[in-house]
Structure formats: structure tokens, C-alpha cells
């Protein structure tokens, strides 16, 4: 109770003090209304807190309202702007219109070495009061919060932001945007391919924020997007003015194996490799290089004008138009082999002017060969003009015409009956082509390869590349045909065999092979005779077997078809017929003398039978 009375007395005293000060404080209240900021700044907080300068409730409410309007609410987690009022060796003292100043470590201003008193900085209240009653502020946290606000605003409103390229990283670059490290993909640096990424490090550039990942706090920016926006405007203007035949200046943007992409100032066109030069080239980089400026002519474009076909060679006169008027069929020209195909070679006789040498015009030879057998790419050759069509811009050439046609004196070099050596060049089913010299080929029919061997295919007798001796059998100068023979080098052995193995001649040999319908025997390396089945029969009625030796008689000899037929059976049949004839003659003589009896005849026949069976 005593305590309550004491408090009550104290309150009464304070009320009296405040009441007593009403008159004295009236001028001060007027000062508040006139300049509240000055009043708040000069207000004696110590006297107020100690109760030395009491204020009535109405004035106190007005005072608190002024504080609320002019001082920062240190309870709100917001970024505010403060002023640097002092800089020490370690800290910066910041006034944010709070009850006390705030402190920020100078480490947070390392990016700004020019910080000075009076500068405005953004801060965030980190600790409301430390042990000394000061506010601990954070400039770094404030920058991060503000930076994210700015980045989001730039993304949402498609604003252009400035950034500093700090370094390279995998796939692109790291860019400082408002203090946030953003990723710049390599494909988003420029509209043209980048060859030197390091050249961009340390540069300040403008960007658009194209993507934000709030979950992982990732920001992706693009410089290409700004360029494309400008290019799109230029593109519309350029496309609207495009005309076929128009000549424009462009920059080589990209080189591929099939052509060159040229930037016409926002619009890309393609110069195909065939439209770069009148001469043949293997790759466009033989003609142009990256970033080269050149004039091109518009050849064609689609309806939307999105695909533009350009030409470079069309800006110069066509080489055929500049070809000398004195050049004519029959003239000799020199040129370089630029292309080789199976059917021939293309020779560049002047820049952009080519002639074709067909493989048939490379040699007087008639057997099949490839152009690679005569020339190589890059060879310098001399040729004769065979045809010349200036309208169609075509020219055919020949090499063989520079040498004499070997058929010119063919009759003196290769008369019928003359013997020569040649190289086997090719086979057909019916014969062999033999080259006697370059341009002179002859055919040996399969029947003229051997007198004795039965050949089904020429490969059984010889090989491509072999040397053969031949005899000229026929010569057709007009048809340029030469018929040759190989077997005619020697005499026909069947002329001699015809005498030695004539019909009726007898020879001893053994059965070589049992075949269908009979057997074969080899009399020598050339003659193989056929024994019909029934002619294999021996005297006792059995048949000869393989490897069994016996005597044979020639019953057929055909030299033309090389056919020989022999028989063993006729050998013992002839003997039988002789005995029968002798018995018949004896019987006739005895009948004449009337002394022969039936028993005598039977005895003679039995003796003959025994002899045939080997019993006699």
C-alpha cells in the first residue's frame, strides 16, 4: 500500500510538472509544427528519457507521430538508403535516420574504393543494437536484395542491363550484373560464331535477362538477343528492297564444305560452292575467308525471302565469253587435269574453261581401261580439240591424236601368217584378247588356243598379263580387226595321229576310267579313246575293269572333232570268225570227198569252243 501511494504521489508530481510546463513548452510545440525534422534532430532524448523534460499526453502522441513519420522502423527487414557520415580505418558510419547511427565494415565496400563521406548507400539492418547501442548494418546483403529486385524487374519488363564479363567458364562466360554472377552461354554472345572467347573477358556489355531460376538462384543473360532485335529491324528493311540481280556488300559469316554464308546486314544469304568461281574448287576456303567483305549478286530467293541464293562468280565475265575466237577444232591446247572419272578426265585449258578427254580418246588401244591408267589430277597435259561448242560451252579433247594411228601401216607390220608375241589383256567366253602393241589388239578364239586340249573357258589355258606367241590368221583393216591363233605356232599333231591311230590299228593300254556307257583309255597325253560298254567284253564274257590292261582296236577316228573310239571285243570276235571260216572250208572239202561225217563236224566245233574258252 505504501508503494502504491508512492507511485501515486510520483504520478501526481509528474502531472504537475507537465502542467506547469505547458506554458513554457508552448513555443517548443510551435517549433515542432514549423520544422518537425529540425525539432526531432535537436530534441534532447536524454532529458526526455530521464523525465527532466516532461511532455503532456497530447504532445507526446504528436511527438510519437513525428517519430513514426521521420525515423526508420528498425523492426522492418527492408533495404533503406543511408548517408555516410564518417569513415574510420575499419568501418563506415551510416546515418539512416534511426535513433542511432549504423556501422558497416569497409570490407563490404571493396568493390568501391572511392567511397567517401556524404555518399548514399543502400543498407539492411543486420543487428538492431549491439552492446554499445549501435545498429549493425549490411551493405552486401542490401546489394543482393536490391540486385535480385532489379534483375527480376529487368526480366519481367525486358529491360536492357549493363554487365561486366568477369571470366570464362564451361560453355560460356560469367557476367556481373548488379553484383550477381549471371551465366552468358557461348551461343548468346553474338549472332556469328565466336572464335576467341578470351577477347570478351574484362569488357562491359549490354544484356537482356532471358531466364531466372529462383529455386537455384541462377540468372542467364544474352547479348545476342539485343543484336537480333536490331537485326530483325534491319532485316525487314533489307528484305523489302531485295531484287534479283541486285549487287550487295556482305561479310563472310560462316564457311562450310558446300558453300559460304554471307551476312548482308541482318539477312544471311548462301553462295553455293559452284557459284564462287568459274573454276572448279575443292573447298570454299580456297576463295574466301571468315569476316571478309565482298560484293555478291542476288541470284534467287523464295517467296518469304528467308532463303537467299547469292553468287560471286557472276560478277565477272564468263570465261567462255573471253575465249579466243581463233581457237578451233584441230588446235592443240595445254591444260591441267582437274577431275577424273571412270569415263574420262576434265582438263582446264583456261580459267573456268574445261574440256573432256573421253577414255577412248586417251589411247589407240581398244581394250577396256580407266582414265586413271593414263592421267592423274594435277597433271599438265597436251591435247587436241576434237569438238568445240561455244553456245553450249562444251569442248571435247583427245590425247591419242597427238601420236600416229598404229593401224596406218598395219599390213606391213602384221601381215597374215606372221608370228608375234602379245600380252593377254582380257577374256571373253569365246576367246582371248591379246595386245600386240598400244592400239593393236587381236582376238584368239577359244578353238585356236590348242590343237589337243578341250577348253571350256580361256582362263583354263592362260591368265591376264601372260605373254603368248600368236600367228596372224586374218586382218580386217577397215574394221580394225585382227584375228590371231596360238595353236598355229606348232604343226597339228592330229595329222600324225591320223596315221598312227587309224581305223583298224591295234594298241595295248589299260583302262583309265570307268564312265557312263563305257570306259576311257589314254594312248598318250593328247589322245583319250572311248570304249563303249559292249566293247569291254572279254573272251570269257566278263567285262574289263579299271586298271586292267588289254589289246584294243581303233574302230573310229575323227581328226576334226578329236574323237577316238576303240574296242577290245572285236579282237577276240575276229579270231572266232577266222576259226569258223577255217572249219567251214575244211568241212566243204571233206564233203566233196564224201568222207566227212556228222561226228567229224561236231568234233571240230567242240575243239573251236574249247579253244575260245581257253581249254584247247
CATH code (residue 92):
2.40.50.140
For residue 364, the tally of other CB atoms under 10 A from its CB is 19
Task: Note whether residue 182 is domain-resident.
Answer: yes
pLDDT (0 to 100) of residue 128: 61
Give 139-180 pLDDT, tens digit per residue.
Answer: 778 878 888 888 888 888 888 888 899 999 888 999 988 888
Last residue of a domain, one of 402, 420, 446: 402
- Interatomic CA distance for residues 531 and 552, integer angstroms: 9
Task: Note whether residue 234 is domain-resident.
Answer: no
Task: Note whether residue 322 is domain-resident.
Answer: no
Q: Residue range 113-134: average pLDDT?
A: 75
Whether residue 55 contacts residue 63, with contact meaning beta carbons closer than 8 Å, is answered with: yes
- DSSP β-bridge partners for residue 434: 424, 442
For the ranges 11-15, 218-222, 350-354, 596-600, the lowest mean pLDDT is seen at 11-15
Helices 2-34 + 57-70 axis angle, to 10: 60
Angle at 96 between CA 95 and CA 99, to 5 degrees: 85
* Residue 428 reports pLDDT greater than 70: yes
- Interatomic CA distance for residues 579 and 487, integer angstroms: 48
Q: Residue range 272-298: average pLDDT?
A: 90
pLDDT (0 to 100) of residue 108: 81
- Residues with Cβ within 8 Å of residue 172, at least 6 apart in sequence: 183, 184, 185, 186, 187, 188, 189
Cell digits of residue 336: 591441267
Task: Note whether residue 31 is domain-resident.
Answer: yes
CA-based R_g, the chain, Å: 60
Last residue of a domain, one of 356, 383, 402: 402
Task: Note whether residue 480 is domain-resident.
Answer: yes
Task: Note whether residue 104 is domain-resident.
Answer: yes
For residues 508 and 217, which has the higher predicted lDDT (pLDDT)? Answer: 508
* Residue 11 reports pLDDT greater than 50: no
Last residue of a domain, one of 461, 489, 517: 489
Task: Note whether residue 528 is domain-resident.
Answer: yes
**In degrees to the nearest 10, what's the CA dihedral of 42, 43, 49, 53?**
130
The total number of structural domains in the chain stands at: 8
Q: How confident is the model at residue 310 (pLDDT cuts 50, 70, 90)?
A: very high
* Residue 215 reports pLDDT greater than 90: no
| Residue-range definition of the domain harbouring residue 435 | 410-489
Cell digits of residue 332: 592443240
Residues 60 and 103 in one domain: no
For residue 562, the tally of other CB atoms under 10 A from its CB is 16
The mean predicted confidence, pLDDT, of the chain is 79
- Residues with Cβ within 8 Å of residue 505, at least 6 apart in sequence: 553, 554
Give 182-198 pLDDT, tens digit per residue.
Answer: 999 988 888 777 778 88
Task: Note whether residue 323 is domain-resident.
Answer: no
Q: How confident is the model at residue 473 (pLDDT cuts 50, 70, 90)?
A: very high
Residues 416 and 452 in one domain: yes
Give 61-104 pLDDT, tens digit per residue.
Answer: 665 665 555 444 444 467 788 888 888 888 888 888 776 778 88
Residues 394 and 340 in one domain: yes
Amino acid at each position: 500500500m505504501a508503494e502504491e501511494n508512492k507511485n501515486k504521489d510520483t504520478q501526481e508530481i509528474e502531472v504537475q510538472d507537465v502542467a506547469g510546463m505547458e506554458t513554457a513548452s508552448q513555443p517548443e510545440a510551435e517549433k515542432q509544427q514549423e520544422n518537425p525534422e529540425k525539432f526531432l534532430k535537436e530534441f534532447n532524448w536524454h532529458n526526455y528519457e530521464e523525465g527532466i523534460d516532461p511532455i503532456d499526453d497530447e504532445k507526446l502522441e504528436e511527438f510519437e507521430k513525428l517519430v513514426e513519420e521521420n525515423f526508420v522502423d528498425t523492426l522492418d527487414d527492408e533495404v533503406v538508403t543511408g548517408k555516410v557520415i564518417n569513415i574510420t580505418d575499419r568501418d563506415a558510419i551510416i546515418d539512416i535516420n534511426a535513433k542511432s547511427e549504423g556501422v558497416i565494415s569497409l570490407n563490404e565496400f571493396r568493390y568501391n574504393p572511392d567511397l567517401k563521406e556524404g555518399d548514399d548507400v543502400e543498407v539492411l539492418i543486420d543487428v538492431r543494437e549491439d552492446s554499445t547501442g549501435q545498429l549493425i548494418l549490411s551493405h552486401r546483403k542490401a546489394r543482393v536484395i536490391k540486385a535480385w529486385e532489379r534483375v527480376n524487374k529487368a526480366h519481367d519488363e525486358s529491360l536492357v542491363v549493363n554487365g561486366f564479363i568477369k571470366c570464362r567458364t564451361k560453355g560460356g562466360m560469367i557476367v556481373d550484373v548488379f553484383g550477381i554472377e549471371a551465366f552468358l552461354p557461348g551461343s548468346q554472345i553474338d549472332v556469328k560464331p565466336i572464335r576467341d572467347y578470351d577477347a570478351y573477358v574484362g569488357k562491359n556489355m549490354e544484356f537482356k535477362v532471358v531466364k531466372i531460376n529462383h529455386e537455384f538462384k541462377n540468372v542467364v543473360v544474352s547479348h545476342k538477343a539485343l543484336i537480333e532485335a536490331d537485326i530483325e529491324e534491319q532485316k525487314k528493311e533489307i528484305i523489302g528492297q531485295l531484287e534479283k540481280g541486285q549487287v550487295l556488300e556482305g561479310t563472310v559469316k560462316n564457311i562450310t564444305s558446300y558453300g559460304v554464308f554471307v551476312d548482308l546486314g541482318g539477312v544471311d544469304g548462301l553462295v553455293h560452292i559452284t557459284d564462287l568461281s568459274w573454276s572448279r574448287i575443292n573447298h570454299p576456303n580456297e576463295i574466301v575467308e571468315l569476316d571478309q567483305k565482298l560484293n555478291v549478286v542476288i541470284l534467287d530467293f523464295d517467296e518469304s525471302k528467308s532463303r537467299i541464293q547469292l553468287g560471286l562468280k557472276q560478277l565477272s565475265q564468263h570465261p567462255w565469253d573471253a575465249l579466243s575466237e581463233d581457237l578451233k577444232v584441230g588446235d592443240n591446247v595445254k591444260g591441267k587435269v582437274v577431275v577424273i572419272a571412270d569415263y574420262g578426265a576434265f582438263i582446264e585449258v583456261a580459267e573456268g574453261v574445261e574440256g573432256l578427254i573421253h577414255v577412248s580418246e586417251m589411247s589407240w588401244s581398244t581394250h577396256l581401261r580407266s582414265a586413271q591408267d593414263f592421267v592423274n589430277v594435277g597433271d599438265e597435259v597436251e591435247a587436241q580439240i576434237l569438238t568445240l561448242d561455244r553456245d553450249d560451252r562444251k569442248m571435247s579433247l583427245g590425247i591419242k591424236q597427238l601420236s600416229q594411228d598404229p593401224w596406218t601401216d598395219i599390213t606391213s607390220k602384221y601381215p597374215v601368217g606372221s608370228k608375234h608375241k602379245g600380252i593377254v589383256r582380257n577374256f571373253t567366253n569365246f576367246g582371248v584378247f591379246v595386245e600386240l602393241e598400244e592400239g593393236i589388239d587381236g582376238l584368239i578364239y577359244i578353238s585356236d588356243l590348242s590343237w589337243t586340249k578341250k577348253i571350256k573357258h580361256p582362263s583354263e589355258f592362260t591368265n591376264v598379263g601372260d605373254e603368248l606367241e600368236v600367228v596372224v590368221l586374218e586382218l580386217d583393216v577397215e574394221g580394225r580387226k585382227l584375228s590371231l591363233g596360238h595353236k598355229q605356232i606348232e604343226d597339228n599333231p592330229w595329222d600324225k595321229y591320223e596315221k598312227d591311230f587309224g581305223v583298224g590299228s591295234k594298241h595295248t593300254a589299260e583302262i583309265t576310267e570307268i564312265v557312263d556307257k563305257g570306259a576311257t583309255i589314254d594312248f598318250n597325253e593328247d589322245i583319250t579313246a572311248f570304249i563303249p560298254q559292249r566293247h569291254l567284253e572279254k573272251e570269257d564274257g566278263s567285262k574289263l575293269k579299271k586298271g586292267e590292261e588289254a589289246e584294243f582296236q581303233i574302230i573310229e577316228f575323227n581328226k576334226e572333232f578329236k574323237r577316238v573310239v576303240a574296242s577290245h571285243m572285236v579282237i577276240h570276235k575276229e579270231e572266232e570268225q577266222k576259226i569258223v571260216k577255217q572249219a567251214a572250208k575244211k568241212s566243204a572239202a571233206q564233203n566233196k570227198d564224201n568222207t566227212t561225217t556228222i561226228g567229224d563236224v561236231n568234233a571240230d566245233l567242240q575243239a573251236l569252243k574249247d579253244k575260245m574258252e581257253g581249254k584247247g
